[in-house]
Structure 1
């Protein structure tokens, strides 16, 4: 459920936040300044002009190898939250001076838990015990207390994401007997407060098991709301049945016209069988193609190369996407294989600071850099392709070096970054200098 946004009123008069003087470090944010930016941003209608904007225009080749990226400066006119016009740069023209910063699509965190973060609270490292069911018991003891200020902490976590150039997230939201629908309600408050600067889609997530804790009645209730996906969790290890859990998840999605995004941590045979069974159900219900995702899918990392290729081919044919954690201890997901076979692969920060994990900077650009290191993508071409992980697909140049973003009519969701090209941005995790969401200049 993507949120509408409205751009900053009197932005040009606010020298403290003007692009000419802005110094910004990813992962560090002043919550009050972002809030002030939103407060000033409620009436101007997503309209502004950026000049001296650097855009990628093509590749430079030597002996058929991409060795560099061509860029030029442009003027970008934004109106009603969309890119209205892209013109040759006119340095003397009126507009916000981007100072030659590189413009890229804004980043998208496609797997995170905004609803139950400990961010903005007292630091604590994780204290895991008892496996996944032990963690469920821990949440049952602590969720009620966490919910008392979960809207506030969600807003602070959103601000962290924004500071790293992210303007959109797919957030899983606990739906279970302990919090019932309160996690959803509290997160919706936070998202409403950020509607001018951040967009989201929500996954109803039975974190404590669909049947293990009888979450089904609450999932049915959540499915009637404006959530976007029906979630799930390790059907064998938690619920004890692949077929029963997946059948119910699929039926909820079909009955309420939702997508599917399930957590699948199981790395053994049960994980593979779950993916295969889900593929069968999607192929039986073509309306779910392009709307179904498996988060984590660690079973794919344990397969031999031939089986990985076979599964990638099946996933691509069924249009089932993978939302992968990068990296994950002891496992290397076959992301290049999945991408090469046409599987929609995305990433996210998952749990930045909560009872499940305390690792995470908030930057999906950093995740992309880690992926580039992990898979040896060190060339100009390879690094530029990896940017897809940070943006959930959109990149300036196609594989032939033809400009495909931005175009007039595109949504004005973009970042200005201190880099000469996207390959450098990925390689150096270059600083984000400005985030614009639906034409709304967030900072």
Structure 2
């Protein structure tokens, strides 16, 4: 058993000079087998028989993050600087990527490991990665990504999505997708049933067919906009209902939800909630956003991710999913303590230290001992200022940075 002493936790709201602030206090946390087993106010003494004590020195503990939309197989990381080749259209981009990834295949594991390190350093201990499965690359990228994640299984968990980047309905892709599911992919992906596959009903049918065959969850890239996109979502929910696949699917990007009237948004949000269909967003600057606040108000689960970064699509970006919450705050002008603090839930899998009204929620005895330690006054400051992640602990193990032992510095 180990103890973390002087951990700053958020405990309540308090009003000060007409503004809401977050009240914090120091605690000692006892950890055993990756779980919190004791939680003491800092005024109480830690048992003298304790062998390992780490002084957190008043740093704030926040929940670890979940990177919920990523492409570990595509990055240029570890290969040195390389800008993105200009192309005329999406067709050219896809063709260039297909040819390039064949050449990069021998370095997939190396590049994926570099990306995992980048993501982990920002505080994410779960990665949902889409991996290209197509006639050009076959299963080579999948093999490299699985090997990379295996080396980091002590630090991160992962969803590995078989992703038909060049379309599900072409050539040998359906059989390759099934082979990918037999070879270590854990989820079924999809891409623009209208814009790429040119057959909404057939594409969605085949996606669900593979999912039910392998008892797998689904995450579909949907860039198709407006009413074409919302029609696709409605048809997908019919498949979810017919197959009893509630709480097992997600739509990534879903720009279309922000491109229809608010009444239609609310109608779709209610149906998404009823079927447990989550929405994943990367908070892009070039597209309309799904109506995150409306979705949240209607009980739809919303998650954020960085998408691919530094690859053939763009040289920009990095693995700090906290930046996505920050960017959303900028766009929607979130500035008060409570709304900033509450928005952290979109990168923690829904976990926040306090409820909106200030009741204590996290952490509690029997919770996983998974924390990010930062020098900040509150979660709201973390969102607004994006401080350095001093250390990351996942289920009782330090997976990034260092803790301060009473005896020595422990990594």
Q: Counterpart of 2:406?
A: none
CA displacement at 1:232 relative to structure 2: 0.4
Which of 344, 363, 373 lines up with 1:406 in the alignment?
Answer: 363
Q: Provide, for residues 198-247 of structure 1, a one-character-per-residue CA deviation record: whole Å limited to 9, x for no partner.
A: 22111111111112343111101122244321000111111110011100
> How many residues are paired up?
395
Contact 1:205 1:232 in 2 (8 A): yes
Q: Counterpart of 1:265?
A: 223
Q: Provide, for residues 266-292 of structure 1, a one-character-per-residue CA deviation record: whole Å limited to 9, x for no partner.
A: 113321211111011112222x11110
Q: Provide, for residues 396-427 of structure 1, a one-character-per-residue CA deviation record: whole Å limited to 9, x for no partner.
A: 11223111111122122211111111011111
CA displacement at 1:128 relative to structure 2: 4.4
Contact 1:75 1:90 in 2 (8 A): no
* 2-structure distance, mates of 1:256, 1:128: 39
Which of 17, 39, 42 lines up with 1:89 in the alignment?
Answer: 42
Equivalent position SS for 2:354: coil
Closer/same/farther in 2, CA of residues 268 and 214 from structure 1, 3 Å limit: farther
CA displacement at 1:66 relative to structure 2: 6.3
* 2-structure distance, mates of 1:218, 1:90: 60
- Is 1:76 matched up with 2:29? yes
- Is 1:242 matched up with 2:200? yes
* 2-structure distance, mates of 1:199, 1:125: 31
Contact 1:327 1:371 in 2 (8 A): no
* 2-structure distance, mates of 1:164, 1:255: 36
Which of 127, 139, 143 lines up with 1:169 in the alignment?
Answer: 127
Q: Counterpart of 1:31?
A: none
Closer/same/farther in 2, CA of residues 435 and 244 from structure 1, 3 Å limit: same
Contact 2:142 2:185 in 1 (8 A): no
Which of 169, 173, 197 lines up with 2:155 in the alignment?
Answer: 197
Equivalent position SS for 2:194: helix
Q: How does 1:214-229 map to 2 (within 5 A)?
A: 214-229=172-187
Find runs of 4+ consecutive structure 1 residues off by over 3 angstroms.
90-94
* 2-structure distance, mates of 1:410, 1:66: 31
Q: Counterpart of 2:15?
A: 61
Contact 1:126 1:355 in 2 (8 A): yes
Contact 2:146 2:184 in 1 (8 A): no
Contact 1:324 1:346 in 2 (8 A): yes
Contact 1:301 1:333 in 2 (8 A): yes
Q: Counterpart of 2:264?
A: 307
Equivalent position SS for 2:28: strand
CA displacement at 1:133 relative to structure 2: 2.6
Equivalent position SS for 2:362: coil
* 2-structure distance, mates of 1:439, 1:55: 17
Closer/same/farther in 2, CA of residues 274 and 66 from structure 1, 3 Å limit: farther
- Is 1:98 matched up with 2:56? yes
* 1-structure distance, mates of 2:342, 2:3: 29
Which residues of structure 1 form unaligned runs of 5+?
1-46
Equivalent position SS for 1:115: coil
CA displacement at 1:180 relative to structure 2: 1.2
* 1-structure distance, mates of 2:157, 2:92: 33
Equivalent position SS for 2:154: coil
Which residues of structure 2 form unaligned runs of 5+?
47-51, 402-411
Contact 2:38 2:365 in 1 (8 A): yes
TM-score, structure 2 normalization: 0.92
Q: Counterpart of 2:6?
A: 52
Closer/same/farther in 2, CA of residues 157 and 90 from structure 1, 3 Å limit: farther
Which of 80, 83, 89 lines up with 1:125 in the alignment?
Answer: 83
Q: Counterpart of 1:326?
A: 283
Q: Counterpart of 1:28?
A: none
- Is 1:394 matched up with 2:347? no
Q: How does 1:20-31 map to 2 (within 5 A)?
A: none
Bigger drift between 362-371 and 306-315 goes to 306-315
* 2-structure distance, mates of 1:248, 1:306: 31
- Is 1:344 matched up with 2:297? no
Contact 1:51 1:91 in 2 (8 A): no
What root-mean-square deviation, in Å, do the aligned CA atoms of Structure 1 and Structure 2 show?
A: 1.8
Q: Provide, for residues 144-196 of structure 1, a one-character-per-residue CA deviation record: whole Å limited to 9, x for no partner.
A: 21111111111111111111111111011111122211111111111111111
